[in-house]
Amino acid sequence: MGRIGQRISLNDSDRQELLIMSRSSKLEHRYVQRAKIILLSDESKTYEEIQQQLQITSIVVAKWRRRYLKDGIKGLRDKPRSGKPSKYTEYDKKRIIHLACSKPEDGYTKWTQRRIATKYGMSQGKVQTILVESKLQPHKTHYWCGKSTDPEFETKMIDVVGLYLNPPDKAIVLSVDEKTQIQALDRTQPELPMRADKVRRLTNTYKRYGTVSLLAALSVHKGEITARTVERNNNETFLQFLKHLYRKYPRKQLHIIVDNLSVHKHEKVKIWIKSKKRITMHYTPTYSSWLNQIEIWFGIFTRDVLKDGVWHSKKQLVDQIMEYIETYNKSRVKPFNWTYAG
């Protein structure tokens, strides 16, 4: 029988923390390996079994078992190494941290590691080390949705989400919006197609052939897209699109979700809607267009069609947009899996 050594029996807290360490994709490999040694020891694996499974020596197994038995999970950390003392003091480090957290001057929006290093006359690697130790990332920005200032936010939000999760019987719920200023861009040189070891290549310089706007309606509970392109979006084109939807779904109650764009609330639009018994408008709260499901589809459309597109005319752009929508309706139609836990 192989050597087992002193028994290691983990409590629930240590076992949970070691499991997280052993499955981490962000921790350095040596820490992941140490966690696995202790977990396998807890399973009464022999030295030989641990060596074989982790491809390490018995000396390594013995070292980290011994360190864990003495100091627990803290013992799995590297001990401070002796060597040349740092030339930078705690004051220097605090200056770096303070600078990284402050707004830069001379027209810059944010700091980079290189400019911080240049300002204080140290290597970029040292600046990176200090920032990593302080868990600071001045080169990154995360975006989040600010709180709506609409005093009726909750009422409008519940109204919209209610249409998604519990729509009126036999009614059609349509999520409607515009994607404006879609540019028909051509390149000044021919596209170089993808080949083995070569990605697709486009010139940075381009020609413009004008812009179009796309009016689109998502049938929320079927996933079908109804759309048309227009030269410019205004209350007249929006009203024409509403009339088109009204004709497309005869004898159906229509519940249309839109944001607070002025064309959606134009007097002509209000007068026409008031004259129709089958149509009801629902407005998302101010600064909450993300509640409108058509925005999800616009993201898909942008990735599939617009990103890195090349068109030799505005007509070619329009034709491709409408062809894509036709293909989408034939092959990809399904409702989005909208969930709400509020």
For residue range 227-252, what is the model confidence (pLDDT) as tens digits? 999 998 999 999 999 999 999 999 99
Report the pLDDT value the prediction gives residue 220, as an integer from 0 to 100.
96
Residue pair 269/239 in contact (Cβ under 8 Å)? The answer is yes
Q: Which of 338, 300, 285 is nearest to 163 (CA)?
A: 338
pLDDT above 70 (res 26): yes
pLDDT above 70 (res 85): no
| Identity of the amino acid at 249 | Y
Q: What is the pLDDT of residues 39-61, one digit of tens each?
A: 998 988 888 989 999 999 989 99
3 state DSSP class of 238: helix
User: From 3.90.1150.10, 3.30.420.10, 3.90.25.10, 3.40.50.2020, which CATH number describes the 153-331 domain?
Assistant: 3.30.420.10
Instruction: Count other C-beta atoms under 10 Å from residue 47's C-beta.
Output: 17
Whole-structure pTM value: 0.64
- The tally of CA atoms less than 13 A away on the side-chain side of residue 229 is 19
Q: For residues 181-200, give the mean pLDDT.
A: 83
In angstroms, the CA 79 to CA 67 distance is 11
Report the pLDDT value the prediction gives residue 104, as an integer from 0 to 100.
87
CA angle 111–112–116, rounded 5-degree value: 80
